[in-house]
A = this chain, B = another copy of it.
Amino acid sequence: MVTSERRLMGIDHLDGRLIVLLAREPRIGVLEASRRLGVARGTVQARLDRLQSNGVIRGFGPQVDPAALGYPVTAFATLEIKQGQGADVRAHLAGVPEVLELHTTTGHGDMLCRLVARSNADLQRVIDRVVGFEGIVRASTAIVMENPVPLRIIPLVEQAAQD
């Protein structure tokens, strides 16, 4: 159901402008957006409904900054997993609040996860908790120093809207 039919259709120019507008000024409503884009309100409503049911727009949840929450340290950990332990490791990591995301990957490691911690010292505690699990063979961690390009989507949306 979740991964039902995802149409993979892409977006047109108006969709792109709408998404970029909403990304830049999230507080504006449907009415104001329609004014900015120079189209009727019904059009914006219809586009938004379609974009959300398409899955292009997942939602409008709050974007929380872990640093402001007291977790200013970010790190990426590459994990090597013992054969057949994947499911257990997933479940274990899902239970650790400091694990913000987890991917299984090709390449040297088997998994890559993003961690946050209250300090460099606290990061040791988090890593111990993450790797202190039977099934994880080895872990190598890279601490984030700078974040020159924060997670963004606008340039990609603009490119996708070129079609």
Contact = CB atoms under 8 A, between A and B. Distances in A.
Interface of A: 6-11, 19, 22-23, 26-27, 54-72, 74, 76, 78, 90, 93-94, 97-109, 112-114, 116, 140-153, 155-160
B143 A107 contact: yes
Interface of A (DSSP majority class)? mixed
Given A55-B68, A68-B55, A76-B112, A105 B145 contact: yes
Q: Which 8 A-B pairs have the closest CB atoms?
A: A107-B142, A102-B149, A97-B155, A105-B142, A58-B63, A56-B68, A26-B60, A90-B148
A65 B160 CA distance: 12
Nearest to A3: B67
What is the oligomeric copy number? 2
A7 B72 CA distance: 12
Contacts of A158: 97
B148 A102 contact: yes
Nearest to A63: B58
A160 to B, nearest CB: 5
A66 B156 contact: yes
A36 to B, nearest CB: 15
A147 B102 contact: yes
